[in-house]
Each structure stands twice: as structure tokens, then as C-alpha cells.
Amino acid sequence: MQHKIRRALVSVSDKTGIENFARALSQLGIELLSTGGTYAALQRGGVPVTEVSEYTGFPEMMDGRVKTLHPKVHGGILALREEATHTSAMTAHGIEGIDLVVVNLYPFEATVKKAGVTRAEAIEQIDIGGPSMVRSAAKNHRYVGIVTDPADYGRVLAELEAHGGALGDDLRRELACKAFALTARYDAAISRWMFAQEVADGKSATPFPATYALAGEKTLELRYGENPHQLAAFYRVSGEDEPSVATAEVLNGKALSYNNLVDLDAAHALAKEFAAPFVAVTKHNNPCGAAAADTIEAALEAAWAGDPLSAFGSVLAFTRPVNLACADFLVSGNRFVEAIVAPSFDDDAFDLLTKKPKWGKSVRLLACGAFGPDSRRAADLEVKKLVGGFLLQGRDLAASSPEQLVCKTQAQVAEEDVHALLFAERIAKHVKSNAIVLAKGTRVLGVGAGQMSRVDAVRLAIHKSGEDVAGAVLASDAFFPFPDGVETAIEAGVRAILQPGGSVRDDEVIAACDARGAAMVFTGERHFRH
């Protein structure tokens, strides 16, 4: 059903393209109503427009808080044009139909991202009249068009011109759906921010609200999900500004896949553990190599050496800009990676990676800006979807310190091994449980990930380490339930072990270390990752 648009209400915070759009509407014979800054902008541009307060006979007041919350506005939007009681009420009260609503909302999300913003400043950016008009128009989309995104101005004008000043049913439904998605996201952002303030002010004993509202904006339509028969898309959560895969700029390469994004996020999360030059090599959501060094190119070479076979086709995360030495290392020999996320790419490194055959058209390069341990937002809860519900938890940002380690064995841990153990523990936090990491210094030798038994995880890490295992240290994400895991590790050449402790067989595990002259420390903190 098509109804010709005779009157439009225009009131936008984001004024991108609004003058030209409004002028085009006016040239189509559509009467324009407007408010505040939008009215002033249209007047300056010479666009014929009537101020809403003139139309309602009721002045704007309270610093613009009250201007469109009026029966002549909402009655004109909500009236069912073919319902006699509605049309008679319109006649009786001098209400004119409003057939098109062009509204976007106060920039609440942008405001709360600003450093030093006060609570009062944030509250003032909670739009009331805008969402009310958006919801009214979207509810009555059978008769009313609702435009909330400047990107839709051209489509709307084209349809008006093609249909003699009317919008087709399909477009009105699509715009209404988009409008409700906008208000849902907007309210979710406000809800999360307000609850975060309660937590920060000590007014809530829990970081988990009674109702958790999660809304995102679709940024990528993916070819498929984990497998070709699964549909998938990527959404960016509103209000989050931590350097991440979601906020990164894609500079090059094929379209990102579902698995690329998952692996990049895992690699980037691990890289955020370190302030030093560090590279994580990730495959199937687990690190297969990782290293910290004095230079980023040295870190890359050491990380790749952790498991060169698995590193082919992996994704990488760098804590420093990718330089020419890194790019030259990657494109030489039989090496290839699917994607790289880094703070930035030096120009000569970018040229080499994007112009080298096999690399240029394929490798995805993402620049996320500078990041480190301090860039992580503890308030950003982790969400895991289950069938029929979801789980929320805080992020695992804990990291053991040397002072936290409690030696449980007769053998003491050498000073150089303390730092190696703590490095290995940080890696183990990002390995699927059961997780075992073998390391020397700040270089991963082998990883045992996702095994159903801990001793099998130990065996896998030893296998990946090869001959380098002699003199290595081992970090476990959780306690050893039996002595077999440590016995296997020590017999292979491991000399120091870190674990949280807490097993009913801790004494047996410690005794196994003492019998073989190996050192073991407890942290008291588990790091499962399922």
C-alpha cells in the first residue's frame, strides 16, 4: 500500500547530507517541519521549513528537552490513515499527518568514550524525543517512512521519484526494522554504561546486571561460518574502544573469514599480555609459537621456530609495527600466513607483503593502533552463547608475580627460570585446556592444547619441542591430578614446573619432583580456557 508523502519531520544530530536531502524533499513538494539546530541549518541553506514549535503552538523549553513530545507530532506520526476514529481525532484537534520522519539520535556512545566526560554530560546526551519519534514512525510504518541513517537518503529519494512521491511497502518495512535495531542498540549502550557507573561507584556488589543488554552493528557479511554450510556475520559491539580486531582497519587481503576473525582475536588477546616486542603465532585458536625479544624481528623468528610446521597458514599478532625485516622473513622460504594484526605496518614492509606473489592478493593485514596490557578493559565482560541462553564472565587478566610463587620442592627455582615460568604461564592462559606450555627464556618450545588428559597434553608439548625440551620449564593451566604428568615432563628434560596447585594428590606430585630433583612452584591461580 503506497501513500504519498506530503509532510516530513526532520530532526537530526548527525547533519551529514541533511541540507541536500531536505532540499530534494522540498522540491518534490513535501512540506518540512524541523527543530533546533536542524531547523537553523536548513534555514541558513535556504530550504523552506517550518519550526515544530510554530506547528504545535507550543514553544521549545528546558534547553530543548521538550520540543517534539506533543500530540500534534506523535498523533501525526501514529495515526492510522484509514481508521475513522483516528482521522476524526486528527480533524478535531488540528493534527496534520506526518508521513516521513528523518531522525538520528544524540551521540551518547561517542560522548561516553571521551576522556574525562562527567556523568552529567553523559546524561544530557541521552536522547528522549528522538527515540520516541523513531519508535512511533517505525511502529506505524504501514503509513510512515522512518529514516535514521544518512546512508539511506539516496535510496529514499530514488524511490520517491520512482513512485510519484510514495515509498513502497518493502522499503518502509526495511527502514522500520533498521530503526528498531538502532533504538535497541542505543538503549543497550545506555543500560550498560549506567550499570558500569554503579559498579565503579561501589553501588553494585556484582558486575552482572539483572538484565544484560547486548547489541552490535553488523560490519561484515561473511561468506560462511566455521564450515561452508553455516551462515555467519560479524558484529561490532557498540561503545567498545579497546584496540581489537573489531576496531582494527583492514588494509589488505581477501575478505576475512569466520575462522580468521576467531584466530586473530585469540592471537591479539595473547599479544596484549606483553609490553615488550612480542609475536604470537596462532593456529586453530591456540598459540603454536610465541616469543618476546629485544626487537620485533627477533621475536618473530623465535616465535616461528616454536612450531614451523603449524605456523604455515597461521595468523600472527605483533606488539610493534611490522617492519621490513619482519616482512622479508615472512615472504622468504616456504612461509605463508593467513592474516596479521599489528599496531601498524611500515611503508616498505607493507609494500613487500602486498606485492610479493602469493602474498599480495591473499594475506589480510589489520592495523589496530598501539596496545599493551594497560589497554585491556576489565569491564568488558566475556560472553559465551549456549543454546537457550548465554554466560557472562570477567576477563582473565590476572598474571602471577615472582612474589606470588611458592616453591613446594626441595630444589629451588633458578632466577632465570622464574621469568621463563611466568612467561610460559601467560601463554598457557590463552591455550585451550588442558594446557601445557614448554618454554626457554621468553620463547615457546611446544604447546599441548585441548587434550582430555593432562599427561597427554604434556606428551604433545614434549613432541612439539623436540630436542629443545632438555632444560626447559613447564607451565600448566591447572593442577596435575596424578604424578604421571610431571614424571613424563621431568624424564624428557624439564627442570622446573609451574602450576596452581589444589589437587588432593599435590603431595604425590611434589614427591615425584623431589625424587627426580626438579623444582615446582604453586601460583594458587588456575587459568582454564574452554
DSSP 96-158: PP--EEEE----HHHHHHSTT--HHHHHHT--SHHHHHHHHHHHTTTT-EEE--GGGHHHHHH
C-beta neighbour count of 457 within 10 angstroms: 25
On the CB side of 153, CA atoms within 13 Å amount to 19
8-state DSSP, 95: P
| Pairing mode, strands 389-393 and 382-386 | antiparallel
Per the residue annotation, which of 139, 163, 178, 419 is the catalytic one? 139
On the CB side of 304, CA atoms within 13 Å amount to 20
8-state DSSP, 184: H
Contacts of 188 (CB under 8 A, 6+ apart): 213, 214, 215, 238
Active site residue 430: no
Least Cα distance to 497 among 415, 436, 427, 430 occurs for 436
Per the residue annotation, which of 3, 284, 356, 419 is the catalytic one? 284
CA distances from 469 to 341, 395, 444 (A): 30, 31, 10
Active site residue 284: yes
Beta carbons of 101 and 144 less than 8 angstroms apart: yes
Least Cα distance to 286 among 267, 268, 311 occurs for 267
The dihedral built from the CA positions of residue 44, 47, 48 and 49, taken in this order, carries a sign that is negative
Beta carbons of 10 and 132 less than 8 angstroms apart: no
| Pairing mode, strands 382-386 and 286-292 | unpaired
C-beta neighbour count of 185 within 10 angstroms: 21
Q: Which triple of cell numbers denotes residue 417?
A: 627460570
| Pairing mode, strands 31-34 and 7-11 | parallel
Interatomic CA distance for residues 420 and 372, integer angstroms: 20
The position carrying cell 629485544 is 294
DSSP 243-266: SSTTTPEEEESSPPPHHHHHHHHH
Question: Three-class SS of residue 430?
Answer: coil
Enzyme catalytic residues: 139, 284
